[in-house]
Chains A and B, each alone.
Chain A
């Protein structure tokens, strides 16, 4: 797929869902359904999506959804994948759809186990960089400096690099994405669907209520995350690291916007002193040197 106009018209995220206005995860979810169609079993641990789907007896999802325990998306998906194999249903894609808390923190054990067992499924971590569902507490994916209710002076540690942790599992496909770049995200999902084994996609999903910006700015914030280089779009296919458009040209530092543009649009960073912003800029620059090295290797892991 090359343009957004080629997107299927069918909607499997239905009207009346319970997401906040401007919710990044719900945009990503809508794109996920469009990319994969309705032959999907979705596994959802405790997360914002537990709310988005709507309360019993209603649902806003037009695909079968198995809700599961916070730390168990990987394991529950393993059980479903095993049952599908037994039943010979090879046209159904199992998708684990978990937030950053359910992935980088409490869920990492069962995800790691599923990856090590080469479970045939796509795991998508939708990352709003905090526990959004419970009112924005710090998670392992919360970036340095960000205000949350449990880091009222700003988080003092860096964001956990989950895609690299997954890369260390040597699974066949890893990608990062952002719903501000829908074609890129959809292509990655469709590619993942065709690959057997565990596929991991980490999608940065801006959260207006948590990040504290105007709900109309979600797509713009996501673009800025990519354009400043804070969030790089890449994939690791059979160990080969590749930056994707529009990130691939950003190895040239002059192409990257200053991180301040991204940070200043969000109230969660408004307390950041000048030297912290400089520190973040240094880290981002360092990350890009690292990406360049990775891209030059036959295998990055």
Chain B
């Protein structure tokens, strides 16, 4: 049955960690992640959550403690954001390289300088190449469900990798909405007890992640790449099974909306994906054939699904809440790379929007879509990368 509660996405993330029967949580507070760890500390102290909560002295130590706990045989959880996530960077490689199925909620926040506490994806996307699976959520319910799904995925023997479950700070993290918290028995039935590829064991002493010579290092990297490919196959399966049990489905790797006959597919992530659906509805009323592809899983990147969408669409517009300086938003780059060797490619227009928490509503997306439709009519994309609603900052 479950119960519906009205709460913030951050608290929901904490309840998801509890529902996943996480046994060790190590975390350091950082805005806007703070209320995740506050809620967990409260649950643990009240005895409502059977776990050890380690109050570490830094984010680097948070992830290092999770590595230790996961290696010593228990399910672990942490949460971070922005500068904290960047401080973890080195250890993120260690967690994936050691093949430890740690799950971390990332409450997205723009990177400084200048200081910003509002969201964009530059923090988590900067960790793109660390070997972590990356989920991006569009609403609070998805946060709960994805945390549970992530453990199921990460602890599969075909994966044994860590995962980030990303949600945008404030837009989601501090917004109260009704969310269904599923019954513990049902979650238990879906998510078996902790499993990892190896644990520290005195009866089977091994030296974990020691020095690897050039003779072997590549094979270790290749195995991670293989696991990522396996994740592409497993994520939709897990999402489907989850949907059958709990009634919530998110489209696996890509949440597609009105894409069947769409001339223009808006490709974006997170809450902008939810706003884009409203924009598509409105534009459809005017006869504009607009669809939405919300990238739910950024790593592994859903290359094949993007190609399928591209077979039908005349244009793909990517909207990135991120910029890779000197190039483009990652979404734009990866979509383009996915389509490179297709014969009949759609045109691609890249938009940079919402950096540092600037509001991106369905109205913004409608405006972007109208511009794209105009370009389609003219037969050419006027600007390959456009910053949406940018003030005139030329001096």
A contact set with B: CB distance below 8 Å: 38-41, 43, 50-51, 53-57, 59, 61-69, 71-72, 74-87, 92, 109-110, 112-113, 116-117
Contact = CB atoms under 8 A, between A and B. Distances in A.
A65 B76 CA distance: 19
Given A43-B68, A65-B210, A76-B68, 11 more contacts: A38-B202, A64-B200, A65-B207, A65-B208, A72-B64, A75-B56, A78-B68, A79-B65, A79-B69, A83-B71, A87-B72
A81 B24 CA distance: 10
Interface residues of B, number: 42
A69 B72 contact: no
A64 B199 CA distance: 9
A47 to B, nearest CB: 12
5 contacts: A56-B210, A80-B72, A86-B51, A92-B202, A110-B57
Nearest to A45: B64
A67 B208 contact: yes
A64 B91 contact: no
A138 to B, nearest CB: 23
Given A69-B94, A79-B76, A110-B57, A64 B24 contact: no
Contacts of B55: 117
Among the interface residues B208, B210, B216, which one has the most CB atoms of the partner chain A within 10 A?
B210
B73 A79 contact: no
Contact of B202 (A40, A55, A56, A86): A40
Contact of A56 (B62, B65, B212): B212
Interface in B84-140: 90-91, 94
A84 B199 CA distance: 12
B210 A77 contact: no
Interface string B213-224: 100100000000
Contacts of A79: 24, 26, 54, 64-72, 76
Given A82-B52, A83-B23, A68 B210 contact: no
B72 A62 contact: no
A84 B201 CA distance: 11
B195 interface: no
Interface in B31-65: 51-52, 54-58, 60-62, 64-65
A86 B207 CA distance: 22
Contact of A69 (B64, B71, B200): B64
A56 B60 contact: no
